[in-house]
Chain A
Amino acid sequence: MTISQMLLLAVVGAPGAVFALFSLLWLLGWTPPERLLTRVTSVVYLLATAAVGWLAWSLHASGQTAIAVSLGDWFVVHEYTFPLALLADHLSLPFLALTVILVGLIGHFSATYLHRDPGFERFYILLHLFAFGALVIFSAGSFDLVIVGWEMVGITSVLLISFFKTRQGPVQGALHVFVVYRACDIGIITAAYLMHHFAHTSSFVDGMPHLTSGDATIVGLFLLLSAAGKSAQVPFSGWLPNAMEGPTPSSAIFYGAISIHAGAYLLLRSQSILLESTTASVAVIIIGTLTAIHGTFVGRTCADAKTSLAYAALAQLGVVFVEIGLGLTWLPVLHILGHAMVRTLQFLRAPSMLHDYHQVHAAAGGHLGKTGQHYDSYLPEPVRIWLYRMAMDRGHLDTILENGFIQPLLQLSKGLARLDRIGLSSDKTTVDKPPNLPVVLRAEEGVSNG
């Protein structure tokens, strides 16, 4: 194994090792002090940044197209193998660099921002798990391995949205996000499954699996489903405002920078499959266009800074999707890198922005002038009102999903429950109620003591 290969392995593995160590010690009863956590975080990501810099330099100097690390097979059964292969090429290296730099910065920022917060340790432990998941996505050599990182990023995202766990809003928001994530994850799992079916591999270390145009359409559309879910594209954008319930640093890294761009990375990685199919490419362009328009309109009616920023990010991501659908490669990568950096800064500045704004007011001796007219003022008033209402309700997307999918599913579930009750005199079965208990919650709603 060369130095570059060892460095790639270390960059991806270090956050996972830190997560495993701290979480196991916590489970066994030890709580790491704040200073230790922040210093370990700083050191790990500083070294990781240097290592990624070395990888980029060595790739450039050697004239190679990629650094690949094969760790053998994770497991083997008969003819089926799950290869563990990492890949750092011209597409993945920028994303690896973006991840280690931004996670290091967020770790540094949060040391002050979350100082003495009851969930300080939890935040850092989950931040390392998230970094591990993101690095696995960006360095994976097969779609099977992408799924591993994909799911880790998803669950970390959800757990950090519910960071303020005693408040109902974040907890409900986390559940909403989890539902959308899991529903859309079916796309990437099925796509990988179909790649094995059609091409007998999902590895792209030696190039993308060869698919016919028809197969590429099916696989591309399933990949688009997952990418759209992770990147909050139309019609799945409704979860984004709920995700803003988490602490600001996690909102910055997830929904300003890394997680929300993971969908775009997936499409970039599978771009050759998408380009095999006109249907899939056009679908990407349509979804990107709709999302850009949706994000622009909805963002202008948002009352809070973080949600407004989230929709601004959404509009940009829509444009990135269009660029990918058009077959461009470097423009979307540059777009993503620049956008992620700017948006992270904006998210991190959001809490102090209002304070600064008031200071500018005071320095100017009164209210600042208007920023100028918007183009929408040229529209007829009834159209503006209609658009405003639609934007206020976030394009009615949540209502459409609720009425078209969730409610029918719940009705079906309740119908099946009635079917299961056939033969029972009553649905209230007797429960082995423990005797003489300190029943502290018995008076509450929802208690079923049998």
Chain B
Amino acid sequence: MADLSFPLITAAVGLPLIAAAVAFSNDSRARLAGIIGAAGATLCSAKILLEVNAAPGLRLAEPWAFGLFTADSLNATFLLLYSLLTLGIVILAPRRDTSARITGATLLVLAATLSAYGADNLIVLGAAWVLSAVPFIVGPFTGTWRPRAGLAASCLALVAAIGIIAQSAQTAGDLEPFSLSSLQGHNYGGSAAFALLLIAIVFRKGIFPAHAWIEDAAEAGPVLPVCLFINGHLGGFLLARVVIPDFPLVSLGAFPILSDLALLTALYAAIRAVAETRARRILALLVLSQSACILAGLESATQEGITGALVHIIVVSVATTGLFSVLRLMEVRFGRTFTADHYLGLGEYTPRLAVFFVVCGLALVGLPGTLGFCSEDLLIHGTLSSHPQIGLLLPVATAMNAVSLFRLFSKLFLGKPRGSIQGITDALPRERWVLASIVVFIVAAGLMPSQIVTLRTNAAQAISRLW
């Protein structure tokens, strides 16, 4: 195992933590602290990605004794992506969403999620998983009981699974019972640990029947932090990092069931969104539906399917961040949450926000010319041999999602504006540059996807080698 040139993962985790402490203590500087913390994490993550790319196939450890974090082709992209998304959201968030509590908690979630990505230790992974959920269970982002219950269940299941795995490893005489690197192929914990890990994933990702909490969280919670939390995709990451390495053969046997559950979730959420009228819920259902496809791709056990899933994570994260951001900016401008009951004609006041919304939406449902097309193409073709039903039903779910999204776009932005509204501005410069960056990334990566696909193929190879 080679070393990183500097404890970059520790720095990427530590900077947002320090910034969170500053933000909690100083309300007027909270946004600035957030930008500095997230930008620092972004720079560190970018450097990690460069070093990982320079050493393909290797897992890089940090040059210090504890060995809690490692970086490889799987987590390096996640680290950068999540840092960038957080940075974007902190920059464009409306002023009322950048209070000390909200910004501090957002940075805490960032630090915890980066820790989970970088963890090479089961205890660190478990602690980071729980810490990232804390603001949504007992902190400032709490909503109705279902999100709290869903997240608490996922945390309990993971902690129990880690306990069983560690005990099993110790019994087997493993010298490093908590090390993720030493898990590979040992089946530590047996079926009990495997089942608990799957429960944790199902709850965290919102796989049917444990999906409803995500709708509730988006509807009743602060929408931007919820969007960031969902886009951590820690459920999928746990599958790739722990479940497949520890239980390669068991997982192959169990994957058809989980895969069918994921497909059911994709269809279920797509059908649910068709008649839903509340804008936030529609977007949450679309995220659920598209995210479920990620799990289906990871379980295909083919390089194409796994690569498609890993690219789709990027698409879903970036596109839904754009969608939720535009929705939140519109809510703040017009002083309301929206329903898709009537044509509101808001595009007359905010034409650029309307374009940002429609491009992000179309990317999410795989419009050619965006990265979404590439990821869906890979997902469909990758599941050709292992799960043909996915190839046949995924386009159906995606078509329904596209209809729901276009319906929401029409209702919000098209039609005759009601009443005369003065003083409504289109995208402000800080909002415009962040959203334009998202759109440019989605389109540029869609036109020239080979770089990103190659990057994710390396990670997919590493995963598929485990079988």
Contact = CB atoms under 8 A, between A and B. Distances in A.
B138 to A, nearest CB: 17
Nearest to A72: B450
Nearest first, the 7 closest Cβ-Cβ pairs linking A and B are A437-B335, A413-B275, A446-B341, A148-B368, A78-B303, A429-B220, A439-B335
A27 B28 CA distance: 31
Contacts of A155: 362, 367
Interface in B362-386: 362, 367-369, 373-374, 377-378, 380-382, 384
A420 B272 contact: yes
B220 A185 contact: no
A193 B381 contact: yes
B419 interface: yes
Contacts of A441: 334-336, 344, 418-419, 421
A190 B347 CA distance: 35
Contact of B377 (A78, A144, A420): A144
Contacts of A78: 302-304, 307, 457
A171 interface: yes
Interface in B358-414: 362, 367-369, 373-374, 377-378, 380-382, 384, 388, 391-392, 395-396, 399, 402-403, 406-407, 410, 413-414
Interface stretch (A55-63, A99-107, A176-184, A346-354): A176-184
A431 interface: yes
Contacts of A179: 403
A182 B367 CA distance: 11
Interface string A381-422: 000000000000000000000000000011011101100100
B449 A74 contact: yes
Interface stretch (A46-54, A86-94, A160-168, A261-269): A160-168
B348 interface: yes
Contact of B407 (A75, A149, A175, A185): A175
A431 B414 contact: no
A429 B219 contact: yes
Interface residues on B, range: 35 or more
B450 A75 contact: yes
A75 B415 contact: no
Interface in A425-450: 429-434, 437-442, 444-450
Contacts of B341: 445-446
A165 B215 CA distance: 30
Contacts of A29: 432
A166 B417 contact: yes
Contacts of A446: 339, 341-342
B337 A166 contact: no
A182 B416 contact: no
> Which of the listed residues A82, A437, A440 has the most CB atoms from chain B within 10 Å of its own CB?
A440
A430 B220 contact: yes
A409 B274 contact: yes
B144 interface: yes
A434 B303 CA distance: 46
B268 interface: yes
Main secondary structure of the interface of B (DSSP, over half): helix
B439 A27 contact: yes
B421 A440 contact: yes
B59 interface: no
B98 to A, nearest CB: 13
A77 B303 contact: yes
A155 B367 CA distance: 9
B342 A80 contact: no
Contacts of A444: 342, 418-419
Given A144-B377, A423-B146, A439-B336, A417 B272 contact: yes
A420 B206 CA distance: 12
A183 B355 CA distance: 24
Interface string B332-352: 101111110111110110001
Given A82-B377, A424-B146, A441-B418, A151 B342 contact: no
B14 interface: no
A75 B449 contact: yes
B174 interface: no
Given A196-B384, A410-B275, A434 B334 contact: no
Contacts of B399: 182-183, 185-186
15 contacts: A77-B303, A77-B307, A77-B460, A80-B378, A148-B368, A151-B367, A171-B415, A175-B406, A182-B403, A190-B392, A413-B275, A416-B271, A424-B216, A441-B334, A441-B344
Nearest to A412: B271
Contacts of B460: 77
Nearest to A185: B399
A27 B436 contact: yes
B331 A434 contact: yes
B443 to A, nearest CB: 8
Contacts of B278: 448
B334 A193 contact: no
A409 B271 CA distance: 7
Contacts of B373: 148, 151
Nearest to A184: B399
B260 interface: no
B163 interface: no
A410 B339 contact: no
